[in-house]
Structure 1
Amino acid sequence: MFRWILFIVFVALIEIYTFQAVKTLTKIRWVQYTYLVVSLLIIIYIAYQFTQFDRSVGQTKQTMLTLGLLLITFLPKIIITVVMFGEDVIRVFDGFMKEFLGNSNESFLPDRRKFVSQAALGLAAIPFLSLLYGMTKGKYNFKVIKQTIFFPDLPDNFDGMTITQISDIHSGSFDDHEEINHAIDMINAQKSDIILFTGDIVNTHATEMHPWIDAFKRIETPAMGKYSVLGNHDYGEYVTWPSEKDKKDNFDAIKDLHRQIDFKLLLNENIKLERDGQQITLVGVENWGEGFKQAGDLSKASVGVKPEDFKILMSHDPSHWEYEVKSNVNNYQLTLSGHTHGLQFGIEIPGIIKWSPVQYRYKQWAGLYENLGRYIYVNRGFGFHAYPGRVGIWPEITVIELKKGERVG
């Protein structure tokens, strides 16, 4: 009950301040009343949808739309509230100064200034338009990001090997076959030597992938094959199941999805990749994440692997690298992860700025990181989850080229 009281007070506060901005800008009553009615209807709709959430079903397109509407409505209003509250602080201070100086013939609080309301609404338009773009266009704004990594111990015959990595498909969130097929064409256009998928094929249920099997089956199988691992969402941990058998059946069906799209699913195991008589090792662990499912067993996955072998490790959650991999005596030269999505929100201008709130949770959250010659690449994700869009952190298809030698510069 106390949380609901806090929520109501919070909503009332931002609505009062936003309405003050509207009133300052226009005196037309029907505009003011229209704003109030629309705001009230949106609040009622969001509150109703949250009360209808069914934990036995989990996230649906309806819940994602509701979250998107919540963000696109209230984030701009919070910005307006901050600006208008700041103006109130100045107005109150100004009123006290007038009283102190004896200007009692003037009103204690000066009138609101129109330009402040205009500035507040202008600032609020930035997240509003960004979130709107993210929900309509940004979620399918696929980018191919290319990265070259140098390794002195890379076997000579693997010099120039290319890897296409995708991660976090989250097929249950998709709603546009044309856009997904376009992204599959982008993957095929890279003509890489191997394709690796680092987990989260669905949000929860295996059936989410059924409408998209034909599309992902179109990913061409390169000379070295297509391999995958599981992510935290693939275990069905975020819904209430009728029975343990239902949960297990769903998990088995999710594992079989990888076969249906012609990917070899690695479950705490490794395989040898051969090229002209030389080998490297591909290691695939189940999900291991700090604060998440920890089914991954690095020791089991590395049976028969020696420290001097060149290894590519597929591990969905980058926190695994931070806690278990980067200093491991078995020397995992390259780890490929996903999971973070870059929070689907941030600012990235190459060479200038790279920021997302998710960086306060994960040390490695997007792109390439290095520690003592060992690397991790964190893919920003192919799909989307929760918020039905992307702002500034675009869906990613990664192409990594392995080169023999020392990094220059």
Structure 2
Amino acid sequence: MEDMRRLILLTFLMIGIDPAMATGLDARFGKHYLEGAPVPAGSAEMQWKKALATSKRYNRLLSEISPFKGVYLRLEGNHNLDSGRDLLRYGLDWDLFANGRREAQRRHEKTVLERRVQFLQLLRDMSERAAQERHYLVDQLRTRVLTDWLKAKVQLVEQQLAQLRGALRAGFATREQVEQLRLLLKQTRERLQAQPDNTMAMPASWQLLLNQLTELQLKPHSELLARTLSQHPDLALQRLFQQRADFQRDWKDDLEARLYIERNETAASRTDQGTVIGFRVRMPLERPAHREELVRLERSLYEDQVQAIRTRLRQRIDQIIRRWHQHRAILKAHLYHLNTLERSLSRLARHARMALPSLPYSPDAELRVKQRERLDLLRDILMERLQLLDYLVDLGQLAQLPDPRDLFTETDRFRAPQ
């Protein structure tokens, strides 16, 4: 009877210890996660990367546009029906304020400002949509992990149930144990059937990154914060809104000043012909009320917004980095627990192989529990890796870094091979 017990335990161990590995569930993301529907070419992430790549060129082209200088070529001619005289007058006018150089310069600056505001708003919206798209993909990967875990668990419990029924016939198990395991199998199958279909593929760069999260180091907190405060669209928008306050109507907007040079030519008399230079100024007698106070108040409000946004960005960076380190510590603890658990399974394997007639307990029940515990632990490890990726997505959006690998100091270690 003792030999039969050891044979049942050894068979149970050999069959049931590796079902997680057989279904692709492991402490690291395997190659089968790269299979499935790829991320669409027109995704929000691709659009965000394209917009970031063109932002410098777009701003440079805007700055290179020259405003109107206010110089006009003036032509004037008429024919006197009574005298029959023809008049031709032509010259150059240089308008310095209204309808001229200053007005054109301010109109140009306002147009450039509005376009930069629109581009930053577009960039901000793209980064938010890209982050939402990435969170969606991470959620899809969670679904795949749960599906793989449930499949592995069904396979494991089926094997355990078959072995337990054999142990029941040999007198080493109870009907209650068999019934509990049968109920667990039924519940697991029901959960598996309720799982949604998911064929979304993981990007190859993500696989390399996720499998090395415990070995990589984030860039220093100060560096990530400095980049966020210099690159985040919300701060840049508030700075542009501050500049927009200067476009409050000024008395100079109604000022007219013209320098001109002209030549008059009259066909009937040479004495009327000649070249004239001169100027004309028209000054408004009214000035906009409270302009300086309005500009000061508007700029002050936007400055308050800048400080509030900077404070909130600091809080978000602190919060994300703190949670990142907390969950990475949890991941390391899970991996340590997995190592301890596998050593325990190895010890149970030795007990099953050794002839120990004086063994004070039967390891079969403990073995079943630890095998299921190991499977649950593998699920938790993969889920923690995905949780860390969620934090990287948020951190990348704040720092305007579309590639999460750029958030680490040792980037060359996990770059995909070219």
Q: TM-score, normalised by structure 1?
A: 0.20
The structure that has the greater radius of gyration is 2
Higher helix fraction: Structure 1 or Structure 2?
2
Q: TM-score, normalised by structure 2?
A: 0.20
